[in-house]
Structure 1
Protein backbone atom coordinates (compact mmCIF):
# COMPACT_ATOMS: atom_id res chain seq x y z
CA UNK A 1 0.00 0.00 0.00
CA UNK A 2 1.23 3.46 -0.86
CA UNK A 3 -0.03 6.65 0.69
CA UNK A 4 0.96 10.30 1.17
CA UNK A 5 4.00 10.81 3.33
CA UNK A 6 6.30 8.18 1.93
CA UNK A 7 6.47 5.53 -0.74
CA UNK A 8 4.68 2.23 -0.43
CA UNK A 9 6.32 -0.66 1.37
CA UNK A 10 8.01 -3.13 -0.87
CA UNK A 11 9.00 -0.45 -3.38
CA UNK A 12 11.76 2.12 -3.22
CA UNK A 13 12.24 3.24 0.35
CA UNK A 14 12.39 6.99 0.74
CA UNK A 15 15.43 8.90 1.80
CA UNK A 16 17.92 8.17 -0.95
CA UNK A 17 18.25 9.00 -4.65
CA UNK A 18 18.34 5.98 -6.96
CA UNK A 19 22.13 5.64 -7.05
CA UNK A 20 25.11 6.71 -4.96
CA UNK A 21 28.26 8.51 -6.01
CA UNK A 22 31.11 6.29 -7.17
CA UNK A 23 34.22 6.26 -5.06
CA UNK A 24 34.86 8.30 -1.94
CA UNK A 25 33.07 11.49 -0.86
CA UNK A 26 34.91 13.57 -3.43
CA UNK A 27 34.55 10.94 -6.15
CA UNK A 28 37.99 9.51 -5.39
CA UNK A 29 39.62 7.43 -2.64
CA UNK A 30 39.42 8.53 0.96
CA UNK A 31 42.13 8.19 3.60
CA UNK A 32 42.58 4.54 4.41
CA UNK A 33 41.19 3.53 0.99
CA UNK A 34 37.67 4.53 2.00
CA UNK A 35 36.62 4.80 -1.61
CA UNK A 36 35.98 1.08 -1.89
CA UNK A 37 33.29 0.30 0.69
CA UNK A 38 31.59 3.62 0.22
CA UNK A 39 31.41 3.44 -3.56
CA UNK A 40 28.21 2.85 -5.45
CA UNK A 41 25.80 3.83 -2.70
CA UNK A 42 22.80 1.73 -1.72
CA UNK A 43 20.99 -0.57 -4.17
CA UNK A 44 18.28 0.69 -6.51
CA UNK A 45 15.58 -0.08 -3.95
CA UNK A 46 16.85 2.62 -1.59
CA UNK A 47 17.56 1.84 2.03
CA UNK A 48 17.73 -1.77 3.09
CA UNK A 49 15.10 -3.11 5.50
CA UNK A 50 15.59 -2.57 9.20
CA UNK A 51 18.24 -4.80 10.68
CA UNK A 52 19.90 -5.60 7.36
CA UNK A 53 22.80 -3.17 7.77
CA UNK A 54 25.86 -4.92 9.13
CA UNK A 55 26.03 -4.35 12.85
CA UNK A 56 22.81 -2.32 13.08
CA UNK A 57 21.09 -4.78 15.36
CA UNK A 58 23.12 -7.48 17.12
CA UNK A 59 26.39 -5.91 16.02
CA UNK A 60 29.09 -8.14 14.60
CA UNK A 61 32.77 -7.32 15.15
CA UNK A 62 34.16 -5.42 12.14
CA UNK A 63 36.34 -7.40 9.78
CA UNK A 64 40.01 -6.90 10.48
CA UNK A 65 40.62 -6.08 6.81
CA UNK A 66 37.80 -3.53 6.48
CA UNK A 67 39.47 -0.49 4.84
CA UNK A 68 37.34 1.94 6.85
CA UNK A 69 38.08 0.43 10.26
CA UNK A 70 41.50 2.05 10.70
CA UNK A 71 40.17 5.44 9.67
CA UNK A 72 37.23 5.11 12.07
CA UNK A 73 39.38 4.15 15.04
CA UNK A 74 41.74 7.07 14.43
CA UNK A 75 38.77 9.46 14.62
CA UNK A 76 36.79 7.75 17.36
CA UNK A 77 39.53 7.72 19.97
CA UNK A 78 39.53 5.64 23.12
CA UNK A 79 35.75 5.40 23.56
CA UNK A 80 35.37 3.72 20.16
CA UNK A 81 32.55 6.03 19.05
CA UNK A 82 32.26 9.30 17.14
CA UNK A 83 30.50 12.34 18.55
CA UNK A 84 29.33 15.43 16.65
CA UNK A 85 32.59 17.35 17.06
CA UNK A 86 34.62 14.37 15.87
CA UNK A 87 32.29 13.83 12.91
CA UNK A 88 32.57 17.48 11.90
CA UNK A 89 36.35 17.29 12.08
CA UNK A 90 36.35 14.03 10.11
CA UNK A 91 34.17 15.36 7.29
CA UNK A 92 36.14 18.61 7.10
CA UNK A 93 39.55 16.92 7.04
CA UNK A 94 38.33 14.38 4.47
CA UNK A 95 37.22 17.21 2.19
CA UNK A 96 33.78 15.66 1.86
CA UNK A 97 32.00 18.92 1.04
CA UNK A 98 34.63 19.94 -1.49
CA UNK A 99 33.90 23.47 -2.68
CA UNK A 100 30.78 23.58 -0.52
CA UNK A 101 30.87 25.06 2.96
CA UNK A 102 31.77 22.56 5.72
CA UNK A 103 28.94 21.00 7.69
CA UNK A 104 27.84 22.95 10.74
CA UNK A 105 28.03 21.32 14.15
CA UNK A 106 24.23 21.28 14.31
CA UNK A 107 24.01 19.31 11.05
CA UNK A 108 26.59 16.86 12.40
CA UNK A 109 24.46 16.43 15.53
CA UNK A 110 21.35 15.53 13.56
CA UNK A 111 23.35 13.19 11.30
CA UNK A 112 24.34 11.26 14.41
CA UNK A 113 20.80 11.45 15.80
CA UNK A 114 19.46 9.84 12.61
CA UNK A 115 21.36 6.64 13.46
CA UNK A 116 21.57 6.96 17.24
CA UNK A 117 19.17 4.18 18.15
CA UNK A 118 20.48 3.84 21.70
CA UNK A 119 20.46 7.64 22.33
CA UNK A 120 24.11 7.91 23.31
CA UNK A 121 24.75 10.96 21.14
CA UNK A 122 27.51 9.07 19.34
CA UNK A 123 27.85 6.59 16.49
CA UNK A 124 29.67 3.30 16.22
CA UNK A 125 31.43 1.77 13.25
CA UNK A 126 28.40 0.31 11.46
CA UNK A 127 26.52 3.61 11.78
CA UNK A 128 29.61 5.46 10.52
CA UNK A 129 29.61 3.37 7.35
CA UNK A 130 25.86 3.72 6.94
CA UNK A 131 26.10 7.51 7.23
CA UNK A 132 28.80 7.76 4.57
CA UNK A 133 26.73 5.67 2.19
CA UNK A 134 23.77 7.98 2.72
CA UNK A 135 25.91 11.13 2.39
CA UNK A 136 27.34 9.96 -0.93
CA UNK A 137 23.86 9.47 -2.34
CA UNK A 138 22.59 12.81 -1.05
CA UNK A 139 25.63 14.62 -2.42
CA UNK A 140 25.15 13.11 -5.87
CA UNK A 141 21.51 14.12 -5.81
CA UNK A 142 22.42 17.69 -4.84
CA UNK A 143 25.14 17.97 -7.49
CA UNK A 144 22.68 16.95 -10.20
CA UNK A 145 20.92 20.26 -9.61
CA UNK A 146 23.88 22.40 -8.51
CA UNK A 147 25.57 22.22 -11.89
CA UNK A 148 27.40 25.53 -11.46
CA UNK A 149 28.77 24.31 -8.10
CA UNK A 150 27.46 27.40 -6.36
CA UNK A 151 26.66 25.35 -3.28
CA UNK A 152 22.95 26.12 -3.55
CA UNK A 153 19.82 24.90 -5.31
CA UNK A 154 16.55 26.69 -5.99
CA UNK A 155 13.31 25.80 -4.17
CA UNK A 156 11.77 24.05 -7.18
CA UNK A 157 14.93 21.94 -7.52
CA UNK A 158 14.72 21.06 -3.84
CA UNK A 159 11.14 19.92 -4.44
CA UNK A 160 12.33 17.71 -7.31
CA UNK A 161 15.13 16.29 -5.15
CA UNK A 162 12.69 15.36 -2.37
CA UNK A 163 10.42 13.67 -4.91
CA UNK A 164 13.41 11.80 -6.41
CA UNK A 165 14.17 10.36 -2.98
CA UNK A 166 10.76 8.68 -2.88
CA UNK A 167 8.82 11.02 -0.62
CA UNK A 168 5.28 12.05 -1.49
CA UNK A 169 4.57 15.12 0.57
CA UNK A 170 1.68 17.55 0.34
CA UNK A 171 2.28 21.03 -1.15
CA UNK A 172 1.67 22.51 2.30
CA UNK A 173 4.36 20.31 3.86
CA UNK A 174 6.77 21.03 1.01
CA UNK A 175 6.21 24.75 1.46
CA UNK A 176 6.98 24.42 5.17
CA UNK A 177 10.21 22.55 4.35
CA UNK A 178 11.30 25.19 1.84
CA UNK A 179 10.60 28.00 4.32
CA UNK A 180 12.57 26.19 7.02
CA UNK A 181 15.69 25.41 4.97
CA UNK A 182 16.11 28.27 2.50
CA UNK A 183 18.45 31.21 2.96
CA UNK A 184 17.76 34.15 0.70
CA UNK A 185 15.51 32.03 -1.49
CA UNK A 186 18.05 29.24 -2.06
CA UNK A 187 19.00 26.05 -0.24
CA UNK A 188 22.65 25.51 0.69
CA UNK A 189 24.28 22.07 0.74
CA UNK A 190 24.55 22.00 4.53
CA UNK A 191 20.84 22.75 4.93
CA UNK A 192 19.96 20.31 2.17
CA UNK A 193 21.70 17.49 4.03
CA UNK A 194 20.06 18.55 7.30
CA UNK A 195 16.67 18.35 5.58
CA UNK A 196 17.45 14.91 4.11
CA UNK A 197 18.52 13.62 7.51
CA UNK A 198 15.39 14.85 9.24
CA UNK A 199 13.09 13.49 6.53
CA UNK A 200 14.69 10.08 6.72
CA UNK A 201 14.80 9.95 10.52
CA UNK A 202 11.19 11.07 10.99
CA UNK A 203 10.01 8.70 8.27
CA UNK A 204 11.88 5.83 9.90
CA UNK A 205 10.34 6.66 13.28
CA UNK A 206 6.87 6.80 11.76
CA UNK A 207 7.37 3.64 9.74
CA UNK A 208 8.44 1.59 12.73
CA UNK A 209 5.17 2.48 14.45
CA UNK A 210 2.96 1.98 11.40
CA UNK A 211 2.86 -1.79 11.82
CA UNK A 212 -0.33 -2.10 9.75
CA UNK A 213 1.15 -0.06 6.88
CA UNK A 214 -1.86 2.25 6.75
CA UNK A 215 -0.17 5.63 6.77
CA UNK A 216 -1.37 6.61 10.22
CA UNK A 217 -0.13 6.03 13.76
CA UNK A 218 -1.09 7.10 17.26
CA UNK A 219 1.61 8.82 19.27
CA UNK A 220 1.73 9.33 22.99
CA UNK A 221 2.86 12.87 23.76
CA UNK A 222 6.19 11.84 25.29
CA UNK A 223 6.93 9.50 22.37
CA UNK A 224 6.15 12.27 19.88
CA UNK A 225 8.51 14.66 21.69
CA UNK A 226 11.22 12.00 21.79
CA UNK A 227 10.93 11.29 18.05
CA UNK A 228 10.93 14.91 16.96
CA UNK A 229 13.19 16.68 19.45
CA UNK A 230 16.00 14.13 19.17
CA UNK A 231 16.53 15.00 15.49
Structure 2
Protein backbone atom coordinates (compact mmCIF):
# COMPACT_ATOMS: atom_id res chain seq x y z
CA UNK A 1 0.00 0.00 0.00
CA UNK A 2 1.36 3.38 -0.97
CA UNK A 3 1.20 6.48 1.20
CA UNK A 4 0.90 9.37 -1.23
CA UNK A 5 1.51 12.77 0.22
CA UNK A 6 4.05 11.48 2.71
CA UNK A 7 7.15 13.61 3.07
CA UNK A 8 5.76 16.92 1.84
CA UNK A 9 7.34 18.36 -1.28
CA UNK A 10 10.61 17.21 -2.72
CA UNK A 11 12.74 18.82 -5.37
CA UNK A 12 15.61 21.23 -5.14
CA UNK A 13 16.07 23.51 -2.17
CA UNK A 14 14.56 26.91 -3.04
CA UNK A 15 16.88 29.85 -3.05
CA UNK A 16 17.15 32.06 0.03
CA UNK A 17 15.61 34.89 -1.98
CA UNK A 18 12.62 32.75 -2.95
CA UNK A 19 12.00 31.75 0.65
CA UNK A 20 12.76 34.93 2.49
CA UNK A 21 11.76 37.57 -0.02
CA UNK A 22 15.36 38.39 -0.88
CA UNK A 23 18.56 38.58 1.16
CA UNK A 24 18.92 41.24 3.83
CA UNK A 25 21.04 44.29 3.18
CA UNK A 26 24.73 43.47 3.21
CA UNK A 27 24.23 39.81 2.35
CA UNK A 28 23.29 36.87 4.50
CA UNK A 29 23.89 37.19 8.26
CA UNK A 30 27.02 35.47 9.38
CA UNK A 31 28.55 35.20 5.92
CA UNK A 32 31.70 36.91 4.86
CA UNK A 33 33.79 35.54 7.73
CA UNK A 34 34.70 32.47 5.69
CA UNK A 35 36.52 33.16 2.41
CA UNK A 36 36.01 30.97 -0.59
CA UNK A 37 39.51 29.50 -0.38
CA UNK A 38 41.65 28.45 2.55
CA UNK A 39 45.36 28.86 2.99
CA UNK A 40 47.51 25.73 3.24
CA UNK A 41 47.56 24.33 6.75
CA UNK A 42 44.21 25.82 7.73
CA UNK A 43 40.96 23.96 8.20
CA UNK A 44 37.89 24.61 6.11
CA UNK A 45 34.70 25.31 8.07
CA UNK A 46 31.98 22.66 8.15
CA UNK A 47 30.15 22.25 4.81
CA UNK A 48 27.06 23.98 6.22
CA UNK A 49 28.75 27.38 6.26
CA UNK A 50 28.91 27.32 2.49
CA UNK A 51 25.15 26.93 2.34
CA UNK A 52 23.32 30.22 1.63
CA UNK A 53 20.98 29.58 4.56
CA UNK A 54 23.67 28.88 7.15
CA UNK A 55 24.27 32.50 8.11
CA UNK A 56 20.56 33.13 8.39
CA UNK A 57 20.13 30.06 10.57
CA UNK A 58 22.96 30.95 12.96
CA UNK A 59 21.64 34.50 13.36
CA UNK A 60 18.30 33.07 14.50
CA UNK A 61 19.53 30.06 16.47
CA UNK A 62 22.00 31.91 18.67
CA UNK A 63 24.73 30.27 20.71
CA UNK A 64 22.94 26.97 21.31
CA UNK A 65 22.77 26.26 17.56
CA UNK A 66 19.11 25.23 17.76
CA UNK A 67 15.83 26.97 16.93
CA UNK A 68 12.87 26.73 19.29
CA UNK A 69 9.24 27.59 18.57
CA UNK A 70 9.49 31.25 19.61
CA UNK A 71 12.62 31.76 17.50
CA UNK A 72 10.94 30.08 14.54
CA UNK A 73 7.89 32.30 14.92
CA UNK A 74 10.07 35.44 14.94
CA UNK A 75 11.99 34.14 11.93
CA UNK A 76 8.86 33.51 9.87
CA UNK A 77 7.29 36.82 10.89
CA UNK A 78 10.38 38.95 10.27
CA UNK A 79 11.11 37.26 6.95
CA UNK A 80 7.59 37.98 5.74
CA UNK A 81 7.16 34.37 4.70
CA UNK A 82 3.39 34.51 5.17
CA UNK A 83 3.16 37.60 2.98
CA UNK A 84 -0.36 38.99 3.21
CA UNK A 85 -1.53 35.86 5.00
CA UNK A 86 -2.07 35.65 8.75
CA UNK A 87 1.28 35.23 10.60
CA UNK A 88 1.99 31.82 12.08
CA UNK A 89 0.81 31.26 15.62
CA UNK A 90 3.15 29.92 18.28
CA UNK A 91 1.18 26.69 18.40
CA UNK A 92 1.66 26.11 14.66
CA UNK A 93 5.37 26.79 15.07
CA UNK A 94 5.53 24.21 17.85
CA UNK A 95 4.01 21.49 15.70
CA UNK A 96 6.23 22.44 12.74
CA UNK A 97 9.22 21.75 14.97
CA UNK A 98 7.60 18.57 16.32
CA UNK A 99 7.19 17.31 12.74
CA UNK A 100 10.97 17.16 12.34
CA UNK A 101 12.01 16.74 15.98
CA UNK A 102 13.30 13.19 15.67
CA UNK A 103 15.48 13.45 18.78
CA UNK A 104 12.58 14.88 20.84
CA UNK A 105 14.45 18.00 21.99
CA UNK A 106 11.71 20.50 21.15
CA UNK A 107 14.11 22.37 18.85
CA UNK A 108 15.46 22.05 15.31
CA UNK A 109 18.96 22.07 13.90
CA UNK A 110 20.18 23.36 10.55
CA UNK A 111 19.21 20.38 8.39
CA UNK A 112 15.74 20.29 9.95
CA UNK A 113 15.44 24.05 9.37
CA UNK A 114 16.13 23.57 5.67
CA UNK A 115 13.76 20.63 5.43
CA UNK A 116 11.00 22.69 7.01
CA UNK A 117 11.35 25.46 4.44
CA UNK A 118 11.13 22.98 1.57
CA UNK A 119 7.83 21.72 3.00
CA UNK A 120 6.56 25.23 3.79
CA UNK A 121 7.19 26.46 0.27
CA UNK A 122 5.34 23.51 -1.20
CA UNK A 123 2.38 24.01 1.11
CA UNK A 124 2.27 27.73 0.39
CA UNK A 125 2.26 27.14 -3.37
CA UNK A 126 -0.51 24.59 -2.95
CA UNK A 127 -2.56 26.98 -0.79
CA UNK A 128 -2.17 29.80 -3.31
CA UNK A 129 -3.53 27.58 -6.09
CA UNK A 130 -6.85 27.42 -4.26
CA UNK A 131 -6.83 30.91 -2.73
CA UNK A 132 -7.57 32.42 -6.11
CA UNK A 133 -9.08 35.63 -4.76
CA UNK A 134 -6.07 36.09 -2.41
CA UNK A 135 -8.37 36.41 0.58
CA UNK A 136 -5.93 34.45 2.74
CA UNK A 137 -8.48 31.65 3.16
CA UNK A 138 -9.84 28.66 1.31
CA UNK A 139 -13.32 27.19 1.46
CA UNK A 140 -14.02 23.67 2.77
CA UNK A 141 -14.47 22.13 -0.69
CA UNK A 142 -11.19 23.74 -1.76
CA UNK A 143 -9.51 22.27 1.31
CA UNK A 144 -10.70 18.85 0.20
CA UNK A 145 -9.20 19.49 -3.25
CA UNK A 146 -5.94 20.69 -1.70
CA UNK A 147 -5.62 17.56 0.45
CA UNK A 148 -6.32 15.37 -2.57
CA UNK A 149 -3.83 17.30 -4.72
CA UNK A 150 -1.09 16.46 -2.20
CA UNK A 151 -1.85 12.78 -2.75
CA UNK A 152 -3.68 11.92 0.47
CA UNK A 153 -6.57 9.51 0.00
CA UNK A 154 -8.85 9.87 3.00
CA UNK A 155 -12.54 9.27 3.56
CA UNK A 156 -15.26 11.95 3.36
CA UNK A 157 -15.71 11.52 7.10
CA UNK A 158 -12.04 12.27 7.73
CA UNK A 159 -12.18 15.28 5.41
CA UNK A 160 -15.22 16.55 7.28
CA UNK A 161 -13.34 16.21 10.57
CA UNK A 162 -10.41 18.17 9.09
CA UNK A 163 -12.70 20.99 7.96
CA UNK A 164 -14.40 21.18 11.36
CA UNK A 165 -11.05 21.20 13.16
CA UNK A 166 -9.27 23.79 11.03
CA UNK A 167 -11.98 26.17 9.77
CA UNK A 168 -12.98 29.50 11.27
CA UNK A 169 -16.26 31.01 10.17
CA UNK A 170 -16.53 28.38 7.46
CA UNK A 171 -13.11 29.11 5.92
CA UNK A 172 -9.56 27.85 6.47
CA UNK A 173 -6.79 30.39 7.02
CA UNK A 174 -3.19 29.83 5.87
CA UNK A 175 -1.89 29.29 9.39
CA UNK A 176 -4.48 26.58 10.07
CA UNK A 177 -3.90 25.09 6.63
CA UNK A 178 -0.20 24.65 7.40
CA UNK A 179 -1.03 23.17 10.80
CA UNK A 180 -3.26 20.64 9.06
CA UNK A 181 -0.54 19.78 6.53
CA UNK A 182 1.97 19.27 9.34
CA UNK A 183 -0.36 16.89 11.15
CA UNK A 184 -1.23 14.96 7.99
CA UNK A 185 2.43 14.51 7.13
CA UNK A 186 3.48 13.57 10.66
CA UNK A 187 0.67 11.10 11.33
CA UNK A 188 1.11 9.52 7.89
CA UNK A 189 4.82 9.09 8.55
CA UNK A 190 4.09 7.59 11.97
CA UNK A 191 1.57 5.15 10.49
CA UNK A 192 3.80 4.28 7.55
CA UNK A 193 6.72 3.32 9.78
CA UNK A 194 4.55 0.89 11.71
CA UNK A 195 2.75 -0.59 8.70
CA UNK A 196 5.70 -2.83 7.84
CA UNK A 197 3.58 -5.04 5.57
CA UNK A 198 2.11 -1.97 3.82
CA UNK A 199 -1.44 -3.26 4.23
CA UNK A 200 -2.99 -0.08 5.63
CA UNK A 201 -3.38 -1.56 9.10
CA UNK A 202 -1.27 -1.23 12.24
CA UNK A 203 -1.53 -2.15 15.92
CA UNK A 204 -0.70 0.51 18.51
CA UNK A 205 0.01 0.07 22.17
CA UNK A 206 -1.90 2.71 24.13
CA UNK A 207 1.20 4.60 25.27
CA UNK A 208 2.68 4.53 21.77
CA UNK A 209 -0.58 5.88 20.34
CA UNK A 210 -0.64 8.73 22.88
CA UNK A 211 3.02 9.55 22.21
CA UNK A 212 2.51 9.66 18.44
CA UNK A 213 -0.64 11.74 18.47
CA UNK A 214 0.16 14.12 21.32
CA UNK A 215 3.55 15.01 19.81
CA UNK A 216 1.73 17.06 17.17
The structure 2 residue matched to 1:83, chosen from 30, 55, 68, is 68
Unaligned runs of 5+ in 1: 8-12, 35-60
1:111 paired residue number: 96
2:119 paired residue number: 134
Q: CA deviation at 1:91?
A: 0.3
Q: Deviations over 1:177-211 (max 9, x none)?
A: 00000000000000000000000000011111111
Any residues of structure 2 matched to 1:55-94 within 5 Å, and which?
62-94=47-79
Change (3 A) 1:197 1:62: farther
Unaligned runs of 5+ in 2: 30-45
1: CA distance, partners of 2:135 / 2:23:
24
The structure 1 residue matched to 2:190, chosen from 176, 201, 205, is 205
- Does residue 25 (structure 1) correspond to residue 19 (structure 2)? The answer is yes
SS at match of 1:213: coil
Q: CA deviation at 1:104?
A: 0.2
Q: TM-score, normalised by structure 1?
A: 0.79
Instruction: Please identify the structure whose Cα radius of gyration is greater.
Output: 2
2:141 paired residue number: 156
More helix by share: 2
Aligned residue-pair number: 196
Q: TM-score, normalised by structure 2?
A: 0.85
1:122 paired residue number: 107
Change (3 A) 1:30 1:168: farther
The structure 2 residue matched to 1:184, chosen from 138, 163, 169, is 169
The structure 2 residue matched to 1:102, chosen from 87, 92, 96, is 87
Q: CA deviation at 1:62?
A: 4.1
1: CA distance, partners of 2:115 / 2:103:
16
Q: CA deviation at 1:148?
A: 1.7
Q: CA deviation at 1:64?
A: 2.5
1: CA distance, partners of 2:188 / 2:23:
30
